[in-house]
């Protein structure tokens, strides 16, 4: 009876010409009562042969059960005029292909992802020739899209119309594909600060040290500049790794060594530092590592000693506390950019320069260090976004992005996706709410951030997560000191002496301290590998990068993690926190909203 009904079910679907039917439609097809048709369909559903779905207008619709499995299969829909792809349930192969020529715009919780091809994606695509890039595109879409391929072809050619090369006499030359490009583009955009004089109709003599500025200025005009100079590779330095790279880290390193320049982009906990050491081993030359803080310099030194064959005598630090130039030198951006120190770095021919926390590069203080020249230039950043919208300069000054989309690493289990919850906290009393209502500007935001009820919520969260390693973030020193006294936990800020800071961090890393209160000094440059809970009490007016960095402190290869973002209900903080977490949501991180408990 079941087999006969299933055959009747498929016959009815075919006759109707649409993929679902109701009991009433089956009843008409079988010339039986609706009650009988509903009973038969329920029997088929009971043995797993058909599925049922409640919808708004019809009480129930029925469909072939195997379509559930088909719905979970990969499907790519291309919008060639918008240069976008909607990919349902993308497989690892498809994600890997797309990451080489497209940008992940957004994802949702249903397994769908939106990708877009931007100009800079084509300019930096890691392919030897255009044919390889177009083949990769066709393998993703399964067909040819003439208008899209024509646009990609134009961008590919555009990215190869200017080149910096070394003249046989040793100076640098800017060369254009045509006389028109040199005269109407380069010489209109570039002035005496960048070019000495014309050499020919298509060549110009470059002023020494202006190469980085030339790249930026022409990039802004829509013309990327290839760097084909004969830069020294530095003295050779044999480096062996004592650990095994993950598959995606090997892919990062292979792509970098092929391109010789790029920025590794991946979530916190994905092992970008390890991949950086892999790049050092692959290049095999003397290396300069630039970092934003002396704490991060010390961590790099420790990691190199633990994970490579380098000896202590081969690693130097150059910052406010130490002044050592060695085959591998770790320096702060600020020190490397100072005129009185920069000559020391310029005189040494580095085989590789690594820019850690590379999102700092566009800022004026850090940009000076980007003019240091090397044959290999590698940036590392989890969050290459900037509120000044100049993040494209990160890739202009260092190299094109290299990386794996975050959701792929979450699904593979390399990095644990945190549970992020926006928790809305009411005012503790009318007096606090009145103070907010009468405040203006920056003071208004600070009053909302310091809502006394947040301390009550922090106590509840600490009790709920007793025994777990927890970080509490605040933006204001006064607030941090008050919380430290009330909660009886140490507060780590920029004012904390270096020795005490290192002791607190060591205690937290090794499990002898479970809770730590941290100011903005913890947003980056400090390695907190085992945090399982993060509570952001204030700082919700900060940047998208800050939100990602703080949530990222819990993204590690093992164990679950929970992030709480506290925002005062009915204030500007509500919108601030949503804006701040939008970047994480685009990376596939699930964000939920809830109300805090009330006393």
Q: What is the mean pLDDT of residues 119-138?
A: 86
Question: Which pLDDT does position 177 carry in this prediction?
Answer: 93
- Choosing from 370, 394, 411, the residue where a domain stops is 411
542 and 465 inside one domain: yes
Please tell me the total number of residues recorded for the chain in this structure: 599
150 and 166 inside one domain: no
151 and 108 inside one domain: yes
Residue 39 has pLDDT above 80, yes or no: yes
Is the pLDDT higher at 545 or at 372?
372
Name the pLDDT band for 59 (thresholds 50, 70, 90): low
> CA 561, 567, 568, 570 torsion: positive or negative?
negative
Residue 512 has pLDDT above 70, yes or no: yes
- Choosing from 48, 70, 92, the residue where a domain stops is 70
Q: Is residue 442 part of a domain?
A: yes
Return the CATH number at 54: 1.10.10.10
H/E segment holding residue 11: helix 2-16
Q: Is residue 240 part of a domain?
A: no
Name the pLDDT band for 29 (thresholds 50, 70, 90): confident
Q: Is residue 333 part of a domain?
A: yes
Residue 22 has pLDDT above 70, yes or no: yes
196 and 267 inside one domain: no
Share of the chain above pLDDT 90, in %: 24
* Burial tier of 571 (Cβ tally within 10 Å: 0-12, 13-18, 19+): buried
- Choosing from 367, 387, 411, the residue where a domain stops is 411
CA distances 18 to 14, 21, 25, 59, 455, Å, are 7, 8, 12, 17, 58
Residue 392 has pLDDT above 60, yes or no: no
Most confident of 223-237, 301-315, 480-494: 301-315
Q: Is residue 233 part of a domain?
A: no
What lies within 8 Å, CB to CB, of 510 at 6+ separation is none
Residue 547 has pLDDT above 60, yes or no: no
Q: Which domain holds residue 549?
A: 416-595
Domain count within the chain: 5
457 and 368 inside one domain: no
Most confident of 30-44, 82-96, 318-332, 361-375: 318-332
Q: Pick the closest to residue 382 from 269, 224, 481 (CA basis).
A: 269
Question: Which pLDDT does position 414 carry in this prediction?
Answer: 55
Distance of CA 80 to the CA centre of its chain: 26
Q: What is the mean pLDDT of residues 27-36?
A: 83
Question: Which pLDDT does position 151 carry in this prediction?
Answer: 96
562 and 528 inside one domain: yes
Question: Which pLDDT does position 135 carry in this prediction?
Answer: 92
Is the pLDDT higher at 439 or at 315?
315
400 and 463 inside one domain: no
Q: What is the mean pLDDT of residues 482-494?
A: 90
| Interval 273-323: pLDDT, tens | 999 999 999 999 999 999 988 888 988 999 999 999 999 999 999 987 788
Residue 526 has pLDDT above 90, yes or no: no
* Burial tier of 483 (Cβ tally within 10 Å: 0-12, 13-18, 19+): buried
Most confident of 42-46, 267-271, 326-330: 326-330
| Interval 575-586: pLDDT, tens | 777 776 765 665
64 and 76 inside one domain: no
Question: Which pLDDT does position 52 carry in this prediction?
Answer: 73
313 and 269 inside one domain: yes
* Burial tier of 549 (Cβ tally within 10 Å: 0-12, 13-18, 19+): buried
Strand 352-356: give its sheet, edge to edge.
315-318, 328-332, 287-291, 352-356, 376-381, 261-265, 401-403
H/E segment holding residue 71: helix 66-71
In the DSSP assignment, the letter for residue 314 is G
Q: What is the mean pLDDT of residues 364-384?
A: 71
Name the pLDDT band for 530 (thresholds 50, 70, 90): low
Q: Is residue 231 part of a domain?
A: no
Question: Which pLDDT does position 56 carry in this prediction?
Answer: 41
Name the pLDDT band for 551 (thresholds 50, 70, 90): low
549 and 527 inside one domain: yes
Name the pLDDT band for 72 (thresholds 50, 70, 90): low
Q: What is the mean pLDDT of residues 463-488?
A: 89
H/E segment holding residue 175: strand 172-176
Q: Is residue 239 part of a domain?
A: no
Is the pLDDT higher at 110 or at 573?
573
441 and 575 inside one domain: yes
Q: Is residue 266 part of a domain?
A: yes
210 and 251 inside one domain: no
Beta partners for 380? 264, 356
Q: What is the mean pLDDT of residues 251-271?
A: 82
Q: Is residue 143 part of a domain?
A: yes
Distance separating alpha carbons of residues 475 and 259, to the nearest angstrom? 40
Name the pLDDT band for 432 (thresholds 50, 70, 90): confident
Assess contact for 459 and 537: CB atoms under 8 A: no
Average pLDDT, the chain: 79
Question: Which pLDDT does position 558 carry in this prediction?
Answer: 43
Return the CATH number at 353: 3.40.50.300
């Amino acid at each position: 009876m079941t087999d006969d009904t299933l055959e009747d079910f498929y016959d009815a679907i075919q006759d109707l010409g649409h993929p679902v039917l109701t009991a009433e439609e089956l009843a008409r097809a079988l010339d039986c009562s609706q009650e009988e048709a509903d009973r038969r369909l329920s029997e088929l559903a009971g043995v797993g042969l058909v599925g049922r779905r409640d919808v708004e207008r019809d009480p129930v619709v029925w469909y072939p059960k195997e379509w559930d499995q088909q719905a979970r299969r990969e499907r790519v829909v291309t919008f060639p005029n918008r240069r976008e792809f909607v990919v349902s349930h993308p497989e690892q192969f498809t994600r890997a292909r797309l990451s080489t020529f497209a940008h992940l715009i957004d994802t949702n919780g249903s397994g769908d992802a939106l990708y877009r091809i931007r100009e800079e994606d084509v300019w930096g695509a890691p392919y030897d020739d255009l044919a390889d890039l177009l083949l990769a595109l066709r393998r993703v879409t399964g067909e040819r899209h003439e208008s899209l391929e024509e646009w990609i072809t134009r961008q590919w050619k555009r990215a190869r119309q200017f080149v910096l090369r070394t003249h046989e006499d040793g100076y640098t030359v800017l060369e254009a594909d045509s006389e028109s490009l040199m005269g109407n583009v380069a010489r209109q955009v570039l002035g005496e600060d960048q070019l000495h004089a014309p050499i020919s109709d298509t060549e110009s003599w470059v002023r020494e040290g202006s190469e980085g500025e030339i790249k930026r200025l022409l990039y802004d005009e829509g013309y990327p500049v290839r760097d084909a100079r004969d830069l020294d590779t530095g003295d050779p330095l044999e480096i062996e790794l004592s650990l095994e790279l993950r598959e995606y880290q090997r892919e990062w390193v292979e792509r970098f060594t092929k391109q010789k320049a790029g920025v590794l982009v991946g979530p916190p906990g994905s092992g970008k530092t390890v991949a950086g050491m892999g790049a050092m081993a692959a290049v095999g030359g003397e290396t300069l590592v630039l970092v934003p803080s002396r704490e991060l310099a010390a961590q790099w030194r420790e990691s190199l000693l633990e994970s490579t064959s380098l000896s202590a005598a081969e690693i130097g630090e150059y910052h406010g506390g130490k002044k050592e130039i060695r085959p591998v030198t770790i320096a702060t951006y600020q020190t490397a950019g100072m005129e009185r120190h920069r000559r020391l770095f310029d005189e040494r021919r580095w085989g590789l320069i690594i820019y850690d926390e590379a999102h700092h590069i566009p800022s004026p203080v850090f940009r000076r260090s980007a003019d240091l020249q090397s044959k290999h230039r590698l940036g590392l950043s989890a969050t290459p976004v900037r509120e000044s919208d100049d993040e494209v300069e990160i890739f202009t000054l260092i190299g094109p992005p290299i990386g794996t989309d975050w959701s792929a690493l979450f699904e593979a289990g390399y990095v644990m996706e945190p549970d992020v919850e926006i928790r809305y906290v009411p005012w503790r009393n009318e007096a606090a709410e009145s103070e907010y209502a009468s405040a203006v500007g920056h003071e208004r935001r600070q009053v909302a951030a310091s809502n006394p009820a947040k301390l009550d919520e922090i106590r509840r969260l600490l009790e709920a997560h007793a025994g777990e390693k927890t970080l509490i973030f605040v933006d204001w020193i006064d607030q941090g000191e008050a919380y430290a006294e009330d909660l009886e936990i140490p507060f780590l800020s920029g004012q904390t002496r270096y020795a005490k800071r290192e002791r607190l961090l060591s205690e937290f890393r090794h499990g002898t301290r479970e809770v730590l209160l941290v100011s903005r000094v913890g947003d980056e440059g400090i390695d907190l590998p085992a945090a399982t809970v993060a509570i952001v009490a204030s700082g919700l007016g900060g940047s998208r990068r800050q939100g990602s960095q703080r949530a990222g402190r819990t993204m590690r290869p093992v164990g679950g993690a929970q992030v709480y973002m506290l925002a005062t209900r009915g204030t500007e903080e509500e919108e601030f926190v949503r804006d701040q977490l939008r970047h994480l949501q685009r990376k596939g991180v699930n964000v939920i909203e809830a109300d805090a408990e009330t006393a």
